[in-house]
Amino acid sequence: MNQPISPQQPFRPEAAGQVRSGCAKAALFGCGGFLLLMLVAIVVFFVKADEITTWGLGLMEKQVVARLPAATTDEDVRRIRRGFAGVREAIKDQTVDPDALQQLQPVILRFADPNRSPSQEDVDRLIEVLEATAGIETGDSAPGTSPGVDPLGLRVVTLAPA
């Protein structure tokens, strides 16, 4: 019953030359794959940025029109749709002013807030900023301003008729 205990060596010299990869290989492939996917996503974003932006504007237009106050006239809805279409066209043509586009963002966000009902003043401001961003001349410029110059100081781009 008593078996002699064989002395064990503290290590095996023949195994010392082997390097086990363990999870290093999996981590290398995982991180490398993730990095490759991120690179592809960045390239796609830069190549398709205009299309992604116009697609997003189309979604925003639907949300804005759905949240318009009940007192909004058909003419206002038509001007909003024309303004969104003009902004999308200006983005595709790369003639949109980035500063004007940034001024449009907070105006649109007023319509996205579910805790707030948009007012007619919000609708009027949206139409004004959309038309200025798209470069649509309304013909009702304020006295003292010249055609092609927005009273807000924005550069107005005139689109050729389709």
Q: Cα 128 to chain center, whole Å?
A: 22
Note whether 83 and 60 are within 8 A (CB): no
Assigned domain for 37 exists: no
Assigned domain for 56 exists: yes
Assigned domain for 94 exists: yes
Q: Domain count of the chain?
A: 1
Assigned domain for 76 exists: yes
CA 93, 81, 87 angle in degrees (round to 5)?
A: 20
Assigned domain for 123 exists: yes
Domain, as residue range, for 94: 49-134
Confidence class for position 150, pLDDT limits 50, 70, 90: very low
Report pLDDT digits (tens) over 59-77: 999 999 998 998 889 999 9
Assigned domain for 24 exists: no
Assigned domain for 59 exists: yes
DSSP code for 47: H
Could you give phi then psi for residue 158, rounded to 5 degrees? -90, 125
CA pseudo-torsion sign 88, 90, 92, 94: negative
- Give CA–CA dist 29/25, Å, rounded: 6
Residue 157: left (phi > 0), alpha (psi -120 to 50), or beta? beta
Reference 87, options 79, 96, 78; nearest CA is 96
Report pLDDT digits (tens) over 108-128: 888 888 888 888 999 999 999
Assigned domain for 126 exists: yes
